[in-house]
Amino acid sequence: MAYDTKTWRCGAYELTFDRPRIMGILNVTPDSFSDGGEHLDTKAAIAAGLAMLDAGADIIDVGGESTRPGFTPVNPDVEAERVIPVVRELVKHGAIVSIDTRNVEVAKACVRLGASIVNDVTGFTDPEMVEFVSGETCNNCGLIVVHSGGVAEPRRAHTAVTLDTSAAALAAERAAAAERAKQAAPGKRGPLSFLQGQLFDEPNGSAAARAAEKAQAAKTAGKPAGPAGASAGGTASKPAADAASSAATSGDKLAALMNATPMSPASLRRFTLPDSGPIMRRVMGFLSDQARTLTRAGVRPERICLDPGAGFGKTAEEDIVIQRSTAKMASLGYPLMCAVSRKRFVGTVSGIAEARERDAATFGVCLAALEQGANIVRVHNAAGFAEFLAGYWSVAHEQPRRAFVALGSNMGDRLQNIRTARDLIAQIPLTCVTHCSRIYESEPAYELDQQAFANAAIEIKTELAPTVLLDEIMKVEQEVGRVREGAKPNGPRVIDCDLLWMEGEVHGGNKLRLPHPKLGERDFVLIPLEDIVHDPARFLRFEGVDVLPPEERVGHVVGELGSL
């Protein structure tokens, strides 16, 4: 039911999930962890975004600030300079664009240019961002709430019990307790400090932080802080000091472990993964709380998408626990994103150290998430995943969908060309023709100095992905005799097959636009559609197509030529 009932409102678009949606990652940064610098040039970034759309991506997620481990914060002006030209151009090509930013001013600028989604890695914890997305100027854009904090239970330091009840001892104990409380009290943290503290593809706390924590606990207990035989006064023995110095100089973790105090049997690992209960309470609790915060601010629930934030402040084991709980997160009722592309935990489970080489393992993790109810995958290799998904989905899920194709010809035997194209389309794999219009004669459109056209429309059902279906339709044109290379735009042609509309599909790019961008102005398409859809103008307006009145259209129908 996760595929059948959820929708995601993203500005002027409404995405359904009868099939998974692909979000291509476009990092316009010099330092992203797997593709930094590849798309920093504006022209290269635009070309990469269009290529992902043409390969099958549904959404392009544009980011101008890296959130890799140890990232350097970017000034919002610099971030805006990177992303604005890319967003503007992709929107012109009909793309659904997501802006990946934590800065409200960058989000505002990109939404004004036509971005349909705001992807906030801080999970909309900034009140200014909440105020913006709940206001009228955000144009009802879609929102991605990301969990980017740690999920581990806080460690508790054990303190020694003192039996000395003298005034000096009691005063010292109270001072130590006050110091511990001061260190434990969380201070106010803005979005930037939140990111720097937790937004890393690392465990919740580095080795240095854990060492400091251990030293503080030992100091509080009045015991030596060193790992290998320090005296009660804090002076380490010479062998232990030499070993510690060697480990610190070489960074040899194994040496440090060998010289450390042996673990007690009670502290040894007894399970392969941590308990999922505390982890999922933190992740699902945060996501639910932030979704509730947004709805209370006036955001409609259908605009919200959830992302558990793989790799952000989490260990590999915690990420696996979260991914195995995808069905639980999907049950919250919001569209769910799987954003695991090339993350460190993917390398851990696959044994692939180089981030760029983790695509195959990424696809495996994404597939597991999709089968548990995830709706969107966010990947670097959009073309590869589109191929992977097309192969898997066509076999695993029966999914015939309705589509309209327009047929036109003004060279040779026009009627026979149209009938031949219809027959060839019926032979496309996983596709059948369900309805045909009559054949009409129409005036030329756009280029008037040419012969009148014969036009028709057919309704098909297909289980192919939109870009795959388009490739098959282009083969039909070639087989009937059309040559596109060197031909005059909108000039004479043996056959023209236009994919007009496909159920549940919105698509942008150079290769395919859905719905067809000129559908609402073409009389030679709308009149044949009346034979298939009783009121095509009303039908298409419901699908977001602006249909012009008959007197304002181009290529007016002037007569009927026969049946198809």
305-342, pLDDT tens digit by residue? Answer: 999 999 888 999 999 999 999 999 999 999 999 999 99
Same-domain status, 388 and 407: no
Let me know if residue 514 belongs to a domain. Answer: yes
DSSP 8-state assignment for residue 267? G
Domain boundary among 392, 413, 428: 392
Distance CA 495, CA 487 (A): 12
Same-domain status, 440 and 541: yes
Domain boundary among 364, 392, 420: 392
Let me know if residue 251 belongs to a domain. Answer: no
Is residue 245's pLDDT more than 50? no
Mean pLDDT of 122-147: 95
Q: What's the pLDDT score for residue 234?
A: 41
Same-domain status, 385 and 448: no
Name the least confident of 14-18, 162-166, 256-260.
256-260
Q: What's the pLDDT score for residue 260?
A: 54
Q: What's the pLDDT score for residue 150?
A: 75
Let me know if residue 264 belongs to a domain. Answer: no
Grade residue 37 by pLDDT with cuts at 50, 70 and 90: low
**Greater pLDDT, 276 or 209:** 276
Work out the percent of the chain whose per-residue pLDDT is above 70: 78
Mean pLDDT of 96-115: 96
Structure tokens at 4: 């059948």
Is residue 165's pLDDT more than 90? no
Most confident region among 38-52, 222-236, 250-264 by mean pLDDT: 38-52
Same-domain status, 387 and 471: no
Let me know if residue 213 belongs to a domain. Answer: no
Mean pLDDT of 356-367: 96
Is residue 124's pLDDT more than 50? yes
Peptide linkage before 515 cis (omega within 30 of 0): yes
The model carries a pTM of 0.80
Let me know if residue 256 belongs to a domain. Answer: no
Structure tokens at 425: 């389309």
Q: What's the pLDDT score for residue 168?
A: 72
Mean pLDDT of 52-79: 86
Residues 221 and 161: beta-carbon distance below 8 Å: no
Q: Return the CATH number at 458.
A: 3.30.70.560
Same-domain status, 295 and 334: yes
DSSP secondary structure string for all residues of 500-534? EEETT--B-SSS--BS-TTGGGBHHHHHHHTTTSS
Same-domain status, 286 and 413: no
3-state secondary structure at position 103: coil
Let me know if residue 520 belongs to a domain. Answer: yes
3-state secondary structure at position 398: coil
Is residue 214's pLDDT more than 60? no
Q: What's the pLDDT score for residue 151?
A: 73
Same-domain status, 416 and 336: no
Average pLDDT over the chain, rounded to an integer: 84
Domain boundary among 392, 427, 448: 392
Distance CA 27, CA 64 (A): 6
Same-domain status, 405 and 385: no
Q: Return the CATH number at 138.
A: 3.20.20.20
Let me know if residue 187 belongs to a domain. Answer: no
Q: Count up the domains in the chain and report the number.
A: 2
Same-domain status, 77 and 146: yes
Domain that holds residue 495: 401-563
Same-domain status, 516 and 451: yes
Distance CA 193, CA 66 (A): 15
Q: What's the pLDDT score for residue 202?
A: 40
Q: What's the pLDDT score for residue 445?
A: 93
Encode pLDDT of 419-474 as tens digits.
999 999 999 999 999 999 999 999 999 999 999 999 999 999 999 999 999 999 99
Distance CA 225, CA 235 (A): 10
**CA atoms 66, 72, 76, 81: torsion sign:** negative
Grade residue 503 by pLDDT with cuts at 50, 70 and 90: very high
Distance CA 277, CA 321 (A): 10
Let me know if residue 308 belongs to a domain. Answer: yes
Distance CA 91, CA 60 (A): 10
Same-domain status, 414 and 331: no
Same-domain status, 279 and 378: yes
Q: What's the pLDDT score for residue 407?
A: 98
Q: What's the pLDDT score for residue 157?
A: 56
Grade residue 271 by pLDDT with cuts at 50, 70 and 90: confident
Q: What's the pLDDT score for residue 188?
A: 40
